[in-house]
C-alpha cells in the first residue's frame, strides 16, 4: 500500500478523534476485511512513543521516517481545533525568542530551510519552537477547558516578557506568529472561573491568567464565547454566594483582553447566565443567552446525572432569582460601556446587545396576583424586564458625564430581545440552546474556589509531560475534563 493512501486512512481515523491505542486497533481491523486496504501496525505510534495522547517526536527511533509522515498528515487535523487543559502547558512550551522576526513568510522560509537540512525534526530548542509554531499555523479555533498552571507556562511567558522589553513592534510580530489564523476562542466554565478568581502577583492593572494574556497577544479572533457553570435551580442562591467574589473582576478582565489585543472581535457570546454580572465590549455584537431552569432527572449508566431544562409554564414554582435581577443584569451590561467621561458616541459604534431567553431561570408562579416572594406570573417576566429598562435607561444614561440625551434612542435601537427557541447557533462554538452546557454539582464550585484561594501555596496540579511531546489528541483530553 502506498504511503499517501495509508496516511489518508490515518487522517480519517484521527479526524474521528480516536486516541493512538484505539487507532492502532482500528488499523488492525481495517486490515482484516477482504477489500479494505491493508494497514500495517508499523505506521502507528507505539505506546512507548506516546504519552497522555501525545506523540513524542524525540522518542521516535528507527521508525522515525515512517512516523514523520504520519505527523505531517495528522498535524493539520489535530491542530485545527486546539483544546487547552491543565496538562496543555507542554503544548505551549516554546521559546518566542527562537522564532523569526518578520511574520509568517519568514517562518515559512525557516521551516523550508529546516526541512531541507532535516533539522526540522531536531530536538534543539530552536527546532522544537519552530516546529511547534509551524503546527500552530493550522489552528482555527481554541477551546480553553482549564487554565494550565502558571508554572506550565513559565517558559513561554518569560520569553514573551523578554521580547516585549526589547522593541515592542518586533515582539508583537513574533508573538502574532503563534496563532495567525485563529478565528474563534471559547472559554468553558473552569476557565471563566479562573479569570474571575485568579490572583496575580500585582494588581497594578486588570491582569488575566497567563494563558489568556498570552492568547491576547498571539491571536486576534473575530468571535469569542464564554460559558458560566450551571448548577441545579434549587442551588442557585448558594451558587451565587459561592461565586459572588470576583464578578466585577471578571468584567474588567474581559475588557482587558479586548484592549490587550482582541480588538478585531465582531461578537462576544455569553452562555448559561443565571445571576452573573455581565461584561460587554464596544464595537461588538454582545449576545447573552440566559439559562432556563435546571432540574436533575435521572442517572445514566455511568452514574452521572441527567438534567432537564424546563421553561415557561412547566417551570413555575422552581427555585430561581426574582425577575428584577434580570433587568439589573441587562442595564448593567449596557451602562458598563459608558463610564462617566467616556466618548459615548464612539463606544456605540458597531455595538449592540442581544438578550436571548430573558425569562429563563426566574422564579415564577402559574397565576397572576401580587408580585411577592413566590415570584411573578410566568408570562410576565419579559414585559417586566423590558419596561424596567425602558424606564431606567433614559434617566441613568444622561446622568453620566459625556452622555448626550439624544443618544438614548440610539442605545434602544441597538437592544434586541430574542426568544430562546429562535436563538441562532453561537458564532464561536456553534452551540445551540442547552446542548453542551456544563452542569456541575454545587460542591464542584466550592472545590474550585478553595483550590483558587490556596493558589500560590499549592499550585494547581499538572500532569507531568515529557519534553518533546507534540500532538494533543482531543479525545484523550476530553477524558480529563470533569464534565
- Where do contacts with Zn ion occur on this chain (CB under 5 A)? 225, 269, 426, 428-429, 431
Smallest gap, in angstroms, from Cβ of residue 434 to Zn ion?
12
For Zn ion, the closer of residues 137 and 141 by Cβ is: 141
For Zn ion, the closer of residues 344 and 438 by Cβ is: 438
Smallest gap, in angstroms, from Cβ of residue 289 to Zn ion?
8
For Zn ion, the closer of residues 135 and 250 by Cβ is: 250
Smallest gap, in angstroms, from Cβ of residue 269 to Zn ion?
5
For Zn ion, the closer of residues 39 and 226 by Cβ is: 226
For Zn ion, the closer of residues 431 and 444 by Cβ is: 431
For Zn ion, the closer of residues 9 and 254 by Cβ is: 254
Smallest gap, in angstroms, from Cβ of residue 281 to Zn ion?
15
Smallest gap, in angstroms, from Cβ of residue 191 to Zn ion?
13
SS (H, E, C) the chain: CCHHHHHHHHHHHHHCCCCHHHHHHHHHHHCCCCCCCCCCHHHCCCHHHEECCEEEHHHCCCCHHHHHHHHHHHHHHHCCEEEECHHHHHHHCCCHHHCCCCHHHHHHHHHHHHHHHCHHHCCCHHHHHHHHHHHHCCCCEEEECCCCCCHHHHHHHHHHHHHHHCCHHHHHHHHHCCCCCCCEEEECHHHHHHHHHCCCCCCCCCCCCHHHHHHHHHCCCCEEEEECCECCHHHHHHHHHHHCCCHHHHHHHHHHHHHHCCCCCCEEEEEEECCCCCCCCCCCEEEEEECCCCEEEEECCCCCEEEECCCHHHHCCCCCCCCHHHHHHHHHHHHCCCCCCCCHHHHHCCCEEEEECCCCCCCEECCCCCCECCEEEHHHHHHHHHHHHHHHHHHHHHHCCCCCCCHHHHHHHCEEEECHHHCCCCCCCCCCCCCCCCECCHHHHHHHHHHHHCCCCCCCCCCCCCCCECCCCHHHHHCCCCC
C-alpha cell recorded at residue 156:
513561554
Smallest gap, in angstroms, from Cβ of residue 258 to Zn ion?
17
For Zn ion, the closer of residues 18 and 426 by Cβ is: 426
Smallest gap, in angstroms, from Cβ of residue 427 to Zn ion?
8
Smallest gap, in angstroms, from Cβ of residue 256 to Zn ion?
20
For Zn ion, the closer of residues 152 and 356 by Cβ is: 356
For Zn ion, the closer of residues 43 and 288 by Cβ is: 288
Smallest gap, in angstroms, from Cβ of residue 64 to Zn ion?
40
Among 94, 12, 14, 86, which residue's Cα sits nearest to residue 50? 14
For Zn ion, the closer of residues 75 and 428 by Cβ is: 428
Smallest gap, in angstroms, from Cβ of residue 467 to Zn ion?
34
Amino acid at each position: 500500500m502506498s504511503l499517501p493512501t495509508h496516511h489518508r486512512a490515518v487522517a480519517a481515523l484521527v479526524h474521528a478523534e480516536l486516541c493512538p491505542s484505539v487507532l492502532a486497533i482500528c488499523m488492525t481491523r481495517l486490515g482484516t476485511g477482504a477489500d479494505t486496504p491493508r494497514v500495517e501496525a508499523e505506521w502507528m505510534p507505539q505506546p512507548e512513543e506516546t504519552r497522555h495522547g501525545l506523540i513524542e517526536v524525540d522518542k521516535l527511533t528507527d521508525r522515525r521516517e515512517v512516523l514523520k509522515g504520519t505527523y505531517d498528515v495528522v498535524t493539520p487535523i489535530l491542530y485545527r481545533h486546539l483544546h487547552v487543559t491543565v496538562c496543555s502547558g507542554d503544548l505551549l512550551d516554546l521559546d518566542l525568542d527562537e522564532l523569526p522576526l518578520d511574520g509568517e513568510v519568514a517562518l515559512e522560509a525557516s521551516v523550508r530551510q529546516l526541512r531541507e537540512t532535516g533539522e526540522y525534526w531536531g530536538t534543539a530548542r530552536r527546532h522544537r519552537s519552530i516546529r511547534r509554531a509551524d503546527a500552530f499555523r493550522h489552528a482555527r479555533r481554541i477551546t480553553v477547558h482549564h487554565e494550565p498552571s502558571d508554572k506550565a507556562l513559565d517558559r513561554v511567558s518569560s520569553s514573551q516578557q523578554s521580547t516585549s522589553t526589547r522593541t515592542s513592534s518586533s515582539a508583537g510580530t513574533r508573538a502574532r506568529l503563534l496563532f495567525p489564523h485563529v478565528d474563534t476562542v471559547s472559554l468553558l466554565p473552569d476557565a471563566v472561573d479562573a479569570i474571575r478568581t485568579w490572583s496575580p502577583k500585582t494588581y497594578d492593572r486588570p491582569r488575566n491568567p497567563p494563558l489568556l494574556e498570552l492568547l491576547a497577544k498571539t491571536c486576534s479572533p473575530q468571535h469569542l464565547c464564554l460559558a458560566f457553570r450551571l448548577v441545579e435551580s434549587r442551588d442557585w442562591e448558594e451558587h451565587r454566594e459561592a461565586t459572588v467574589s470576583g464578578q466585577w473582576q471578571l468584567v474588567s478582565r474581559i475588557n482587558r483582553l479586548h484592549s490587550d489585543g482582541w480588538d478585531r472581535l465582531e461578537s462576544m457570546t455569553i452562555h448559561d447566565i443565571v445571576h452573573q454580572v455581565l461584561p460587554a465590549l464596544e464595537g461588538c455584537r454582545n449576545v447573552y443567552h440566559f439559562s432556563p431552569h435546571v432540574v436533575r432527572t435521572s442517572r445514566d449508566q455511568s452514574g452521572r446525572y441527567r438534567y432537564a431544562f424546563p421553561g415557561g409554564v412547566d417551570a413555575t414554582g422552581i427555585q430561581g432569582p426574582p425577575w428584577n435581577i434580570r433587568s439589573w443584569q441587562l442595564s448593567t451590561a449596557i451602562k458598563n460601556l459608558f463610564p462617566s467621561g467616556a466618548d459615548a458616541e464612539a463606544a456605540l459604534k458597531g455595538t449592540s446587545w442581544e438578550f436571548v431567553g430573558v425569562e429563563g431561570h426566574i422564579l415564577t408562579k402559574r397565576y397572576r396576583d401580587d408580585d411577592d416572594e413566590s415570584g411573578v406570573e410566568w408570562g410576565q417576566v419579559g414585559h417586566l424586564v423590558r419596561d424596567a429598562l425602558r424606564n431606567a435607561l433614559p434617566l441613568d444614561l444622561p446622568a453620566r458625564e459625556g452622555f448626550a440625551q439624544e443618544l438614548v434612542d440610539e442605545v434602544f435601537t441597538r437592544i434586541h430581545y430574542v426568544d430562546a427557541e429562535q436563538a441562532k447557533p453561537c458564532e464561536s462554538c456553534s452551540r445551540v440552546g442547552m446542548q453542551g452546557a456544563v452542569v456541575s454539582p454545587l460542591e464542584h464550585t466550592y472545590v474550585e474556589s478553595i483550590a483558587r484561594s490556596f493558589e500560590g501555596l499549592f499550585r494547581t496540579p499538572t500532569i507531568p509531560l515529557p519534553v518533546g511531546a507534540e500532538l494533543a489528541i482531543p479525545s484523550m483530553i476530553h477524558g480529563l475534563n470533569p464534565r
